[in-house]
Amino acid sequence: GEDVEQSLFLSVREGDSSVINCTYTDSSSTYLYWYKQEPGAGLQLLTYIFSNMDMKQDQRLTVLLNKKDKHLSLRIADTQTGDSAIYFCAETPSWGGGNKLTFGTGTQLKVEL
Amino acid sequence: GAGVSQSPSNKVTEKGKDVELRCDPISGHTALYWYRQSLGQGLEFLIYFQGNSAPDKSGLPSDRFSAERTGGSVSTLTIQRTQQEDSAVYLCASSLSVSGGHSTDTQYFGPGTRLTVL
Quick one: average pLDDT of B79-87? 97
What size, in residues, is chain A? 113
Please work out, in degrees rounded to the nearest 5, the angle formed at the alpha carbon of residue B21 by the alpha carbons of B51 and B7: 100
Interface subset of A 11-50, CB within 8 angstroms of B: 30-31, 33, 35, 41-45, 48, 50
Given CB atoms, is B112 within the 8 Å cutoff of chain A? yes
Return the top range by mean pLDDT from A19-33, A71-85, B28-42, B93-107.
Answer: A71-85
**What is the residue-wise DSSP string for A72-84?**
EEEEESS--GGG-
Q: A11-32: per-residue pLDDT in tens? A: 999 999 999 999 988 777 778 8
B-facing residues of A in 56-85 (CB < 8 A) are none
Give the single-character DSSP code of B56.
B
According to the per-residue pLDDT averaged within each range, which of A35-49, A71-85, B45-59 is highest?
A: A71-85
Q: Are A98 and B56 inside 8 Å of each other by CB? A: yes
How remote is the C-alpha of A69 from its chain's centroid? Answer: 16
pLDDT value of position B103: 55
Burial of A54 (0-12, 13-18, 19+ CB in 10 A): exposed
* C-alpha–C-alpha distance, residues B28 and B35, integer Å: 20
